[in-house]
Amino acid sequence: MTTLRIGIVGARFAAELHATNYRPLLGPRVELAAVCSRTRGQAEDFARRHSIPRVFTDYRTLVASPDVDVVDICATTDSHHEIAIAAARAGKHVIVEKPLTGAFCEATEPRDVMLATALANADLVLEAVAKAGVILCYAEDFVYAPPVAKLRRLLAASGGAILELRAEESHSGSHAAYASRWRSAGGGALLRMGSHPIGAVLHLKHWEGLRRRGRPIRTRAVFAEVANLTRLPAVAALKRHMSTRAEDVEDWSVAVLTFEDGTMATIHSNDITLGGVRNVVTAYLTNAVIQANINPNNTLTVYAPDAAVWGDEYLTEKVETKAGWQFPSPEEDWMRGYPQELEDFVGAISERREPLSGGLLAREVVEVIYAGYVSAATGRRVELPRP
């Protein structure tokens, strides 16, 4: 078995998740060979924590390194497509965090121009990967989360069909500076968080279509609304317990998707939800209902009248206080699908096969989100072109 040598671009939150969840694969299958961050000190600290031998400050040198077989892109979203293209052209396999790409411009740019730009960026990645004959892995952890995996198995066992999907990712806001501006983030809650539940519902319809008729069921139309609720004049004088750093991006969104077979999905994503991350996917079938609670779930519930009771012990992501009733996840990364995701990616690259979450899903997520932005700006349903 050939060991895959992984080069990680990025050294912050997403990179930490990936490096931590490669650990069960280290040895004959995987080596963490390099890390790249524009800040050398940050890259060196990351390398020390994860025993990574090579440190770079320019992704181009990491991509060109003969000691790297796979480039794992955990950098900010505005650089995803250019790093992915460079990696593919260098003959390296590509793992890219969600979303694949977007339109990184002023928020005043017409939304139809944004849609065209985002799709052009996505297509350049897919073309580079296809031309190089390398594997593209799209890091959408919802696809691999055990509750969603069980949803697939229950759907198959039921013999029923999906009529509607409802999915959500919401929390109290990002504290990353890049997320507050369209030029660096490519959008707000609909892109940054909505890519997760949108990815989940698109995946489930792709999977259902392949199983029932031999081809994915695609999205036919999108209708969406977006808003910046924390900046409304009506609440400006009130203390807001969520992040209010958004400058020209939305902090609230809802999208309604119509699929080719006429079935529907509703997506909620926002930065105004207190109490931790809410990651939920519900499938309404012809003969059953399945609700997949990724976060929160009640495998463990705890109560404390004072946040100090739990000391430094981690409970769960994005909670504003440790006091009161809490839902600590005994193994949060596992519940969200990160080790399962990387296991599939390593297998897909080693076996030269398509991963469960690949290029088709990555592109359609971008298409649906930016069609949603067009819809929100024009007040109309946006029909998607299909061959």
pLDDT in tens, 16-64: 999 999 999 999 999 999 999 999 999 999 999 999 999 999 999 999 9
339-367 residue pLDDT tens: 999 999 999 999 999 999 999 999 999 99
Query: Helix, strand, or coil here: 84?
Result: helix
- Where do the DSSP E strands lie in the chain? 4-9, 30-36, 54-56, 70-73, 93-97, 136-139, 162-170, 219-227, 252-259, 264-270, 278-285, 289-295, 302-304, 324-326, 382-383
239-243, 272-276, 334-338: segment of lowest average pLDDT? 239-243
> pTM value?
0.95
- Average pLDDT value for the chain: 96
Cα–chain-centroid distance for residue 239? 30
- Give me the DSSP letters along 294-345: EES-TTS-EEESSGGGGTT----TT-S-S-EEE---TTHHHHHTHHHHHHHH
- Average pLDDT over every residue of 204-233: 96
Q: Answer yes or no: is pLDDT of 318 > 80.
A: yes
Enumerate domains of the chain plus CATH numbers.
4-140 (3.40.50.720), 142-340+368-383 (3.30.360.10)
What whole-number distance in Å separates Cα of residue 250 and Cα of residue 263? Answer: 27
**Band (236; pLDDT cuts 50, 70, 90):** confident
